[in-house]
Amino acid sequence: MSELNKEVVDLVWGKPTGGGVSTSIFRRWSQGFVFSEHEQTALKQFEGGPCAVIAPVQAFLLKNILFNRESSTWRKMSEEEQKMALCSTLSEILESACASPSTGFCFVTWAKGQSPHTSTLSKTQTQSQTQDMPRPESSQSPQEQQPTALAAEDLGFEQFHTVLHKLTVLSVSDLREEVLSLYQSWRGCCGVLLFLYSVILTKGIENIRNEIQDPTEPLIDPIHGHGSQSLVNLLITGHAVSNVWDGDRECSGMKLHGIHKQASVGFLTLMESLRYCKVGTFLKSPKFPIWILGSETHLSVFFTKEMSLVGPESPSEQARRVFQSFDPEDNGFIPESLLEDVMKALDLVSEPEYVSLVKSKLDPESLGIILLGPFLLEFFPDQDSGIPDSFPIYHYNGLKQSNHKERVEYVEGTALVLGFEDPMVRTDDTPVKRCLQTKWPYIELLWTTNLSPSMN
């Protein structure tokens, strides 16, 4: 790993002032993938920061548990089932990140005898060695060699990068076999970072730099420890693009990369409700009804088993999307001069006389604007989206301090998705609801707990 160390560190951590990453930031990122003792299919997050890796892994884990297993008891898993589910998920993300099958899949793991609890070398000795020198075999048994889920106190940022080993396999079957064999490493100290580095080297450092909008922006903020949108997108889609819209856009002669195909799991953000950005259809309407939710500082996961939520787009949903494409500022209306373009884009009758008639009906007060609601009611009055009136929902937050009684457990609830008219039921205005309203403007949430689940 020695020749790659600097490139990997620069890409992930940038070039922090002072030359290194603070002890507290590194400690927050040095956990493994650990299941909650209170929720057998949920991963725990010990401190803020690594949600940028843990939440996407949790989302894919839920996809595999809910839709790839025949068991109806999806919240119950034995230790062996946990192992198989986690390893299958990590393999899937690594496969998705692989830029070219011919280059193979890379794993970053501990050099022999160098996991935090097996190294008998002092810090200075370890750092003075080169990566190519043979490592002394540990005399401890494999069981004793396994690092713990929390960071070993004496393992610092610099030392961590001196005791890593890179391994490459060429076939998908070897990939899955290797992921399984490294299960204890994923679970143990720095397992999240080992997996992240494996994804990065499998994707290719140069490929990632070409996709990130600003190549100098690190994947992890070395000051606050938060993962970037590029990192989240890399794990969700296999592409480290910095934006959440569909396709590429031109801005002042610069090409800005977005998402290019429907993702398996989705992404919604509170930032959209604050009008800082707009998530495109490829992330908003994924293949499975599982969405990573982004707040200002944290990532959680909202999910349901209701597959009709991700069914083919209904005509009214398509009309909403097309109308909003002519309303980039998300005002809820368009100038009446654009009505003909919208109608043409939707293959509606767009003869000038008819368009003029529609204008007078939708803008009776001659304000010069066409509102989204009346437009949809005019052309799609009885559209049934195929979504049931209500369905069970779940919310996951990996931080124990953000959970009721400080236990990492799913919060259960019921969602009501109502029509364009004023809803009969009004529930509290909460961050989770505001985030979900960027996908379903008329959603209402009824949780089984007294408090709405936290996004932070």
- Active-site residue identified among 51, 87, 106, 189: 51
- Is residue 298 flagged as an active site residue? yes
Backbone angles phi, psi at 295, to 5 degrees: -100, -165
> How do beta strands 290-294 and 266-269 pair?
parallel
- Active-site residue identified among 226, 239, 257, 298: 298
CB-CB contact of 195 with 90 (8 Å): yes
Query: Which of 455, 424, 330 shows the shortest CA–CA distance to 444?
Result: 424
Q: How far is CA 54 from CA 112, 183, 188, 221, 429, in A?
A: 26, 16, 14, 16, 27
Helix or strand run (H / E) with residue 373? helix 372-379
Partners of 165 in beta bridges:
109
Q: How far apart are CA 56 and CA 265, in angstroms?
A: 8
Q: How far apart are CA 64 and CA 87, in angstroms?
A: 11
How wide is the angle at C-alpha 432 spanned by C-alphas 429 and 436, nearest 5°? Answer: 100
- Is residue 106 flagged as an active site residue? no
Question: With b meaning 16 or more CB within 10 Å and e meaning fewer, what string describes 292-331?
Answer: bbbbeebbbbbbbbbeebbeeeeebbebbbebbeebeeee
Number of Cβ atoms within 10 Å of the Cβ of 19: 7
Task: Specify the DSSP class assigned to residue 279.
Answer: -
Q: Which residues are catalytic?
A: 51, 298
